[in-house]
Chains A and B, each alone.
Chain A
Amino acid sequence: ILNVEQSPQSLHVQEGDSTNFTCSFPSSNFYALHWYRWETAKSPEALFVMTLNGDEKKKGRISATLNTKEGYSYLYIKGSQPEDSATYLCARINAGNMLTFGGGTRLMVKP
């Protein structure tokens, strides 16, 4: 994998459903992976910074896992709510603290 890739591009779920998305990234020279949540007309908000293989982080109903050897991270949302509707971005940190972003997963939660 040469770039940071996210799937799916978009996702529609019903309120109360649990869901997950994938972020794939180059596994060589890994520093850290960031997850951000970006609501329309707002600034991207940091969710997690993940650095170690096997990391699992949780913030409320949202959690993430990291596999640096195979180059992927999963973001999980348990019991989705309409306010979870946003674009979820992952980004790989390069040397110099520069972020390479994936294309994002746009989540829409229907009430």
Chain B
Amino acid sequence: SAVISQKPSRDICQRGTSLTIQCQVDSQVTMMFWYRQQPGQSLTLIATANQGSEATYESGFVIDKFPISRPNLTFSTLTVSNMSPEDSSIYLCSVSDRSNQPQHFGDGTRLSIL
């Protein structure tokens, strides 16, 4: 299975700043996804990162707030922009090659906004 390196593992940020989270995979993968888990909530899909084109965002998430890059088949970034305390969450990237195979997740980024 793919080995996923997600950085940073945690951070504490000031309100109004932005943070970029990186997700590096040790092999080429077809699909990469970004998820968020707010305290007490379920894991929620933010967007599908598309290689060479704009990400596909789920309802309630917009590019201005969560810009995503995917320059190649092994790397993606998620930026959380203009952060507020409501953005305090665990952010996870995951990868998948086929729909009948499980997704593989990074260790997550635990983000707290003061």
A: residues with CB less than 8 A from B are: 4, 31-32, 34, 36, 41-44, 46, 49, 51, 89, 91, 93, 96-104
Contacts and interface: CB of A to CB of B under 8 A. Distances in A.
Nearest to B47: A98
A32 B100 contact: yes
A98 B103 CA distance: 9
B45 A97 contact: no
Interface residues of B, number: 25
9 contacts: A4-B42, A34-B103, A89-B43, A98-B48, A99-B94, A99-B103, A101-B42, A101-B44, A104-B42
B53 interface: no
Contacts, number: 55
A43 B48 contact: no
Contacts of B44: 101
Nearest to A34: B102
Contacts of A36: 102
Contacts of A42: 107
B102 A43 contact: no
Interface string B27-69: 0000101010000011111001000000000100000000000
Nearest to B96: A97
B7 interface: no
Contacts of B48: 96, 98
Given A96-B48, A98-B33, A102-B42, A43 B105 contact: yes
